[in-house]
Amino acid sequence: MAGVAALAIATPWAASPSSAVAASQSQIKHVLLISVDGMHQSDLNWYIANHPNSELARLATGGAEYTHAQTADPSDSDPGGTALMTGGDPKVTGIYYDDEYSHGVFPPGTTNCSGPVPGGNVIYDSPDDNLPAVPDLLNNGSGNTFPSFDEGGSIYSGGIDTNPSLIMNLSPRPQSGLNPATYPVNPKTCQPIQPWDFLGVNTIFQVIHNAGLRTAWSDKHAIYTSFNGPGSNGMSIDDFFGPEIDSQAVEPNGVPYPVDGAWTADNAATKQYDSYKVQAVVNWVNGYEHSGTGPKVGTPAIYGMNFQTVSTAEKLKSSPAVLIGPNAQGKYTEGPPLVGGYITVDGRQVPGPLLQSALDYVNDSVQKIADTIKADGEADSTAIILTAKHGQSPQNNSQLQRIDDGPIIAGVNAAWAAKHPSNKTLVVQEADDDGLLWWLSDRSQAAADFAKNYLWTHTAPAVNYVGQTVTVQHSGLRQIYAGRQSAQFFGVSKSDPHHPDVFGISQVGTIYTTGSKIAEHGGDNPADRDVPLLVYAPGTVEPDQSSHSVETTQVAPTILKLLGLSPTSLQAVQKEGTRVLPGLGTSNGD
């Protein structure tokens, strides 16, 4: 029901904030956080309507559901995930994208930090892996390469994966498989900046770990050990399970998938990939480390994972949904390809066959985890929070327009070079998915306005859903913030070193790609940011539905509140005034 408090402590002392905290301390011992990357609130609505007895329906109707939740902006995985873990937007975290730039660092590889700080790439992604270029197992002579499944090759000799189930033995500190030489360099120390030290504020893992409680998390890159937080030395997440999603997808018998691509190139492969993380979560529930072996160490106070299956089902135009086998010879085959993304039914956009299968997979996986929690006697002491780092756009195929941003960047650089022969490259870094983020070599307002004017006055060829080439106005954008306008948009000063110098909001349907994907995230369109958010904790959180506008940054202080810890322990809560989700407290910055 609209406009009501969605969370309340179900005790006789609910009216007293201090008593509410005490009740939370005695009741909730564990919080399971799940991010279903790419999922929209409309997807959850559709799934519950069509599967009223599903696990997702049970969590939504039995918990507090927020029907107007939005991600951080930009809607990329890194700022979206960092928001969940810190309670902060990019203005305080400094995280705008996986692949970004800072005017306040020296470039990777710098060993002499004398002179003015030139700025440099800040790429915390799979190129940071110690083994970023393992030869293609299917077409070894093709020249194609992939990063290793375990980043550093500690499990697979040379990074060559012939038994993917061994990934469960990945070190709980997989950052040991990363290469610091690829990190930006701190101008004060002239040392590479560890990913967790690039964050501008602390994280829930630091607060919970420092309280003497166990922490765990599973994600798609080892570089997301950044969630350990600044000054942690990478040690505040006791068990991080991060198999590299950009590695080559390999069937359980060690044979590469026919698509000859990463785990995201085939939805059946993505499900196999996500299943390793699901197993890690089940092992955590059972009190083990993610491998499920060794002595019991206890269920973490905070643990969870992100799902990629829904995201790839939205991006792929078609893909097999299931892997069948093994047969008597130990071989696997794939089911028939299903249509990806959304389809039109009775004038409405609803999940298509591939996305329906992906939602079924997530539902069944969440039920497997929930059943384990119940079987272990932890149902009453565990809160489950389900949301998404980001949504995805477009949801209507007729809006799709794929644009190659290469000629646009080359064009603005050439136009700039014609007037500035001493500085021929204006765009020094870009992050263009379904939004546009540019960092410029010249930070003057005149240079930012130059880029903005070029983007707005040029057309671009685009390929639509059916493969036709069409002409798109304004380089595919509908609004552009440049220079001080970009700083104001993100709420930072113009001199802030991290924010993009140009931020473009795309026309709905624009994706900057040369590939075949039909949806993407990273921008500021409604479908990029509209995500589900529900909190399930019977006995602590009363069932309700709220239409309050909330943001996923509110998840972090809510987790601390549920565990009986102070939300104001988070620096982002102090700086931004991030509130606990409505109904769970009103004092001390809650």
Position 22 pLDDT exceeds 80:
no
Q: 3-state SS of 140-188?
A: CCCCCEECCCCCCCCCCHHHCCCCHHHHHHCCCCHHHHECHHHCCECCC
Q: What is the mean pLDDT of residues 351-359?
A: 98
Letter string b/e over residues 422-441, b meaning 16 or more CB atoms within 10 A of that residue's CB: eeeebbbbbbbbbbbbbbbb
Q: CB–CB of 110/563 below 8 Å?
A: no
Sole residue written with tokens 């070029």: 454
Range name among 4-8, 553-557, 581-585 with the lowest pLDDT average = 4-8
Copy the structure tokens of residue 566. 């102070």
Position 3 pLDDT exceeds 70:
no
Q: What is the pLDDT of residues 377-419, one digit of tens each?
A: 999 999 999 999 999 999 999 999 999 999 999 999 999 999 9
- The confidence score (pLDDT) of residue 584 equals 64
- The confidence score (pLDDT) of residue 484 equals 98
Burial classification of residue 485, based on how many CB atoms lie within 10 Å of its CB (0-12 exposed, 13-18 middle, 19 or more buried): middle
CA 228/CA 202 separation, integer angstroms: 8
- The confidence score (pLDDT) of residue 143 equals 87
- The confidence score (pLDDT) of residue 326 equals 97
Three-class secondary structure of residue 106 per DSSP? strand
Q: What is the mean pLDDT of residues 327-336?
A: 97
Amino acid, single-letter form, for residue 3: G
Q: What is the pLDDT of residues 513-524, one digit of tens each?
A: 999 999 999 999
Beta bridge partners, 59, equal none
Mean pLDDT across the chain, nearest whole number? 94
Cis peptide before 118 (omega within 30 of 0): no
Q: CB–CB of 190/204 below 8 Å?
A: no
Position 11 pLDDT exceeds 90:
no
Residue-wise DSSP of 229-284: -TTSTT-SSSEEE---TTSBPB-TTSPBPTT-SBGGGSHHHHHHHHHHHHHHHHHH
Q: CB–CB of 340/385 below 8 Å?
A: no
Global pTM value: 0.95
CA 238/CA 554 separation, integer angstroms: 23
**Phi-psi group of 565: left, alpha or beta (phi > 0 → left; psi -120 to 50 → alpha; rest → beta):** beta
User: In 10 A of CB 468, how many CB atoms?
Assistant: 8
CA 447/CA 429 separation, integer angstroms: 15
Res. 5 pLDDT band, cuts 50 70 90? very low
Backbone angles phi, psi at 244, to 5 degrees: -75, 115
Q: How many residues does the chain have?
A: 590
Q: CB–CB of 269/358 below 8 Å?
A: no
